[in-house]
């Protein structure tokens, strides 16, 4: 599972997505950090993927991250106030995350699951 593979043809990638390299890259990164990566799976229950590595102690930040976030949100509000945002997303988890990401800086979006609905919505928004 953690080895690179070649797909039989491009239709497999189109149907399932991905290049088949994600787990291989993750394992190599973990090994470069002196750790490892692996997985366990129970049929009908799901899978657990894990990654370990050695991390040095971080230094304290000179600038408060909350101040950076506040500045970024204010910049977004000023620049995009009144803009209409169309998000076309077919992944269920991402559809839950997008409204949260847009709401925090005060943005409102219209959401579509399929590209053709997004295209129709875009035509309506630009008219």
Domain boundaries, the chain: 10-51, 82-126
Smallest CA-to-CA distance from 35 within 19, 20, 50 is with 50
Tell me the pLDDT band of 4, cut-offs 50, 70 and 90: low
Strand bridging mode 46-51 / 37-42: antiparallel
Comparison of pLDDT for 31 and 21, the residue scoring more: 31
pLDDT, tens digit (0-9, with 9 covering 90-100), for 31-80: 999 999 998 999 998 989 889 998 887 776 666 777 777 788 888 888 88
pTM value is: 0.42
Q: What is the pLDDT of residue 35?
A: 92
Q: Is 79 in a helix, a strand, or coil?
A: helix
Chain length of the chain: 127
């Amino acid at each position: 599972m953690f080895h690179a593979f070649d797909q039989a043809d491009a239709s497999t990638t189109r149907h399932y997505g991905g290049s088949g390299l994600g787990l291989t890259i993750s394992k190599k990164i973990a090994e470069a950090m002196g750790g490892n990566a692996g997985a366990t799976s129970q049929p009908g229950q799901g899978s657990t993927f894990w990654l370990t590595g050695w991390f040095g102690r971080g230094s304290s930040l000179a600038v408060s991250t909350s101040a950076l976030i506040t500045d970024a949100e204010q910049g977004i509000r000023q620049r995009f106030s009144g803009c209409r945002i169309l998000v076309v997303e077919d992944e269920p988890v991402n559809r839950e995350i997008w409204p949260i990401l847009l709401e925090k800086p005060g943005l409102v979006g219209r959401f579509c699951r399929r590209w053709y609905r997004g295209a129709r919505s875009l035509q309506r928004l630009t008219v």
